[in-house]
Amino acid sequence: MTRRRLLDWFLGTSLGAMCLSVLYPVARYVTPPDVPEAETNRALAARDGELKPNDGRVFRFGSHPALLVRDPDGSYKAFDATCTHLSCTVQYRADLKQIWCACHNGFYDLSGRVVSGPPPRALEQYTVHVANGEVVVSKT
The footprint of another protein (CB under 8 A) covers 18, 22, 25-26, 28-33, 35
CA–CA gap between residue 120 and residue 112 (Å, rounded): 12
Per-residue burial over 76-93, b if 16 or more Cβ lie within 10 Å, else e, is: bbbbbbbbbbeeebbbbe
The one-letter amino acid code at 63 reads S
In degrees and rounded to multiples of 5, residue 11 shows phi and psi of -60, -45
Q: How far is the CB of 36 from another protein (least distance, A)?
A: 11
CB-nearer residue toward another protein: 25 or 49: 25
Burial class (CB in 10 A: 0-12, 13-18, 19+), 137: buried
Complex with another protein: residue 33 or 120, whichever CB lies closer? 33
Question: Which residue's CB is nearer to another protein, number 29 or number 73?
Answer: 29
Query: To the nearest whole angstrom, how small is the minimum distance from the Cβ of residue 31 to another protein?
Result: 7
Least Cβ distance, residue 19 to another protein (angstroms): 11
* Residue with Cβ nearer another protein (32 or 133): 32
Distance CA 53, CA 39 (A): 31
Residue 89 Cβ vs another protein, minimum distance, rounded to whole Å = 23
